[in-house]
Amino acid sequence: MAKFGIEIIPAYNYSEIIRYAISAEKSGFEYVWVSDHIRHRNVYVCLTLIAINTKRIKIGPGVTNPYLIHPVVTAQALLSLSEIAQGRVVCGIGVGDKTGMNMLNVERKKPLKTIREAVEVIRRITTKESVTHQGDIFRVYGAGFSFKAEAVPIFIGAQGLKMARLAGEIGDGVLINTAHPRDFEIALKQVELGVSSSSKDMNSLEIAVFAPLSISNDERKALTVAKPIVARIVAGCSNKILKAHNIEKGDVVRIREAIMRGDRESAYSSVDSRMLEGFSIYGTPDECIEKIEELFDLGAKSFIAVIPMESDLVESIKLMKEEVLPYFEQK
C-alpha cells in the first residue's frame, strides 16, 4: 500500500511543530521527517518533542549528515530517541545542504565514501555493544553505549546518480529528492543497479519520493505558494540538472542574484512553468493525485510531502487526509 509522510522544517516554533506532527499522525501519515539545517532549530530537540506527543507515526531526521555530526553521535541521538519512541525511529542521512556547509566553511569531501562509512558505523553501533572502525574517513575505537541498542532503518538521501546507486546497495530505504517522473525513473534505475550488487532485493527497500507539494483547492494559490521553494531549488541546482529541464542559465542567474540581494518578489516572479513542473508538485487535490500516482506507478513506495512554509501546513495536511490519502487507500 502507498505510504505518505511529511517533512517539517524546524523554522516553526515548537508548539507549531508538535501541532503539525499530531495532525499528520491523526490524518494517517506514516512518517514525519524533520530537516536538519544549521539555520533552524535543533533536529533532535524537535524529534524528541514529537516523540513525546505522538504514539504511532515514524519519526527521524530528514536528512542529517556526517560532515557536521559524527556518525557515533548520530547513533547516540537515534538510540536515545528510540527509548521514547520505541520501534518508530528512522534515520535519513545524506551529504547535507550546500548552503549550510558553506556557512561553516565545511567541504563535502569524498561524499560516497563518507556516506558508506557513516552508514556502516551507525548500523553497527546501534546493534552491538561496541564498535571499532578504521576507515578512510572515520576512525572509531571501541565506542559503545551504556543503554540498550536497537536497529534503526537508514534511508539515504539521493540526488546524484552515484548516490542513488549507493543507496540501493547499502540503504534500508532511499529518499529520492525529485518531483519529476523522468528524474525519478533515472534515479530508480541506479537504485536497482545498487540493489543488484548487494544481497537484497527491491522488495526489501523502501523507495520514497521527497518532493515539494503545494496543494490547494485554489489552483492559482497553489502555483503562487510553489514558486518560492522552486526558486530556492533552482538557485542551488547544478548546470547539468538545469540543462536536463531545458532551463536557461540566464534565467537562473536572475533568480540567484535576486535571492542574494533579498529581492524575493523578483526571484519568485522569475520562476516559470518549466521550473515548476521540474521541481514541484502543485495544484488542486485532483491534479496532485495525478502527479503522485505517476510516481507510484513508476515504483515509488512512499511519498514525502515537503510542504512550502508559505502555505498553510494544517490546511495542506487536511486536504491530503480528505482527498489524497483516501484515493490511494482504495487502490
Contacts of 244 (CB under 8 A, 6+ apart): 183
| Residue 228 forms part of a structural domain | no
* Percentage of the residues of the chain whose pLDDT score is greater than 70: 100
Q: How does residue 148 score in pLDDT terms, banded at 50, 70 and 90?
A: confident
Mean pLDDT score of the chain, rounded to an integer?
94
Write the pLDDT tens digit of every residue in 96-126.
887 778 888 999 999 999 999 999 999 999 9
CB 226 within 8 A of CB 214: yes
CA pair distance 268, 263, nearest whole angstrom: 9
Q: How confident is the model at residue 16, as a pLDDT? A: 96
* Domain-embedded: residue 235: no
pTM given for the model: 0.94
d(CA 210, CA 6): 9
d(CA 4, CA 305): 8
pLDDT band (50, 70, 90) for residue 328: very high
DSSP secondary structure letter of residue 89? B
- 213 within domain boundaries: yes
In sequence order, what are the residues at sequence separation of 6 or more whose Cβ sits closer than 8 angstroms to the Cβ of residue 182? none
Average pLDDT over residues 216-225: 95
Asked whether residue 285 carries a pLDDT value surpassing 80, the answer given is yes
Per-residue pLDDT at 160: 87
Task: Read off the amino acid at residue 106.
Answer: V
Which range of residues forms the domain containing residue 110? 3-218+280-329
Residue type, 322: E
More confident residue, 192 or 309: 192
Whether the per-residue pLDDT at 129 is higher than 80: the answer is no
As for how many domains the chain has, the answer is: 1
Q: State the average pLDDT over residues 128-157.
A: 92
Residue pLDDT, tens place only, 227-236: 999 998 998 8
How far, in Å, CA of 166 to CA of 113, rounded?
10
Q: Does residue 135 carry a pLDDT above 90? A: yes
Q: Which residues pair with 157 in a beta bridge?
A: 175
Backbone angles phi, psi at 60, to 5 degrees: 180, 165
Residue 288 lies in a domain: yes
List the one residue out of 115, 301, 197 whose CA is nearest residue 123: 115
Q: How does residue 330 score in pLDDT terms, banded at 50, 70 and 90?
A: confident
Identify the CATH number of the domain in which residue 299 sits.
Answer: 3.20.20.30
Given 3-state DSSP classes, what are the helix, strand and coil percentages for the chain, each rounded to the nearest 5?
Answer: 50, 15, 30
What's the whole-number mean pLDDT along residues 234-244? Answer: 86
The answer, yes or no, to whether residue 301 has pLDDT greater than 90, is yes
Q: Tens digits of per-residue pLDDT, 15-68?
A: 999 999 999 999 999 999 999 998 899 999 999 999 999 999 999 999 999 999
Give the single-character DSSP code of 321. I
Longest dimension (CA), the chain: 57
d(CA 214, CA 237): 20
* Cis peptide preceding 131, ω within 30 of 0: no
pLDDT at 99: 74
Local structure of residue 128 (DSSP, 8 states): S
The stretches of 63-106 forming alpha helices (DSSP H) are 71-84, 98-103
Establish if 225 belongs to a structural domain.
no
Position 42 in a domain: yes
Does 262 map to a domain? Answer: no
9 in any annotated domain: yes
